[in-house]
Amino acid sequence: MAKPLSKLVSCVILDLDGTILNTDGIVSDVLKSYLVKYGKQWDGRRAHRIVGKTPYEASAAVVEDYELPISTDEYISEITPRFSEQWCNIKAQPGANRLINHLRNHGVPMALASNSPRTNIETKISYHQGWKESFSLIIGGDEVTSGKPSPEIYVEAAKRLNMNPSCCLVIEDSLPGVTAGKAAGMEVVAVPSLPKQSHLFTSADEIINSLLDLRPEKWGLPAFEDWIEGTLPIEPWYIGGPVIKGFGRGSKVLGIPTANLSTEGYSAILSEHPSGVYFGWAGLPTRGVYKMVMSIGWNPYFDNSEKTIEPWLLHDFNEDFYGEELWLAIVGYIRPEANFPSLDSLVAKIHEDGKIAENALELPLYSKYKGDPYLKISFPENI
Ligand code: ADP
Ligand code: RBF
Ligand code: MG
């Protein structure tokens, strides 16, 4: 949904929670355990009711939605210590460190504008090395009269940065944040942190799936230079377990055999990684190590209701391994998940992904992980 010609900008204003910090998992964990106290059950589908709101409004929404027998202020005093305790556990969103380092190294001024109070912002970012020093400005919800969706926080940020709002690029994960940035007269890239919400972000100038997909050159900023042969190296991550028998539609409908891993027990890993196409090495302990390309996400063509992990072992590997253990070392990223207009175009794209992965895995940068102990191969590799 990018406009044909984006306006060029000279500074970037980042939102904190959900945009550069992966706060959502922590929020749902804290609320899940807190609500038990009142005999209520956290409903992930209602997360949109709190994401991006000011702390007070988010609290009021929880009290209302779960019909808690307490006032919003009482709720705030009960929940605040539970959240503060977890701040040290909040991870950076994938691509956040890469983006912050890139902009800082190129001297692009960066600001942080969050509905959270200023002191909370500072504590939260203190757990992330190099962040505080990277921002020329930090502005909190307690430094303005009204928080997002009011444009005030962004207008004030531009003023303090000594920038014209039209020269600022806002990066936001929530609807109130996008609304605030647009009302302030800024260019806005939305990175929705909740799944299947993109259709709501029509006012954004561009919607991307994750920070990994940001192309700063579209906004006149220096381009990333870390893509190699169509792939982006990532901090490796690991996942493994038994292959589920007969689940999924991959091999039958697509004519491409894809394994289905149980996602049970991997909810943290799944929430930490944006949906998209990744690749790496796959170990079948009794057989060997194989090149692998995979999708993680909802597979919009089939509109799955669960986030899935679907690896495809390359090299014309064509035997069944139902029920066997499959261990994956995921080392690179290829593209965001897309919705294809036809099965043919989806199949063609998956084959293209396979070629990209196959070639890239020859690069020393990626091939060095072939012997990763996580792949659990106990005899010399067979390929
Ligand atoms: P469908 O997806 O059509 O419902 P399954 O999910 O049962 O069928 O089929 C996937 C199975 O295909 C996996 O369990 C695995 O044993 C097998 N398989 C065969 N070759 C491969 C391959 N190259 N990559 C991934 N899985 C493969
Ligand atoms: N499904 C999509 O709807 N969109 C995609 O972009 C997409 N990319 C994929 C990439 C790879 C490498 C693989 C193995 C699968 C991909 N799929 C995608 C998933 C495919 O639709 C999946 O096999 C079905 O959802 C069956 O479960
Ligand atoms: Mg399958």
Q: Which atom of ligand 2 has the smallest separation from the CA of 353?
A: 12
Q: Is 280 in the pocket of ligand 2 (CB under 6 A)?
A: no
CA distance 147 to 324: 52
CA distance 191 to 210: 6
Residue nearest to atom 13 of ligand 1 (CA): 259
Nearest to 12 by CA among 103, 101, 143: 103
How many angstroms is it from 257 CA to the middle of ligand 1?
4
Residues identified as active-site: 15, 17, 310
Q: Which atom of ligand 2 has the smallest separation from the CA of 302?
A: 25
Nearest to 184 by CA among 214, 161, 215, 207: 161
How many angstroms is it from 329 CA to the middle of ligand 3?
19
How many angstroms is it from 283 CA to the middle of ligand 3?
18
Q: Which domains does the chain have, with CATH numbers?
A: 11-21+90-219 (3.40.50.1000), 24-89 (1.10.150), 232-382 (2.40.30.30)
User: Digits of tens for pLDDT over the chain (383 positions)?
Assistant: 444 457 899 999 999 999 999 998 888 889 999 999 999 999 888 888 888 899 999 999 999 999 999 999 999 999 999 999 999 999 999 999 999 999 999 999 999 999 999 999 999 999 999 999 999 999 999 999 999 999 999 999 999 999 999 999 999 999 999 999 999 999 999 999 887 788 889 999 999 999 999 999 999 999 999 999 999 999 999 999 888 866 666 777 888 989 888 777 787 788 889 999 999 999 999 899 999 999 999 888 888 878 889 999 998 787 888 889 999 999 999 999 999 999 999 999 999 999 999 999 999 999 999 999 999 887 554 44
Nearby residues for ligand 3 (ion, Cβ within 5 Å) = 248, 250, 258, 260
Phi and psi dihedrals of 10, rounded to 5? Answer: -125, 0
For ligand 1, mutation pick of 320, 327, 328, 347 (most atoms within 8 Å of CB)? 320
Type of residue found at 340: F
Interacting residues of 362 by C-beta distance below 8 A, sequence separation 6+: none
Q: Which residues line ligand 1 (CB under 6 A)?
A: 243, 245-252, 257-260, 311-313, 317-318, 320-322
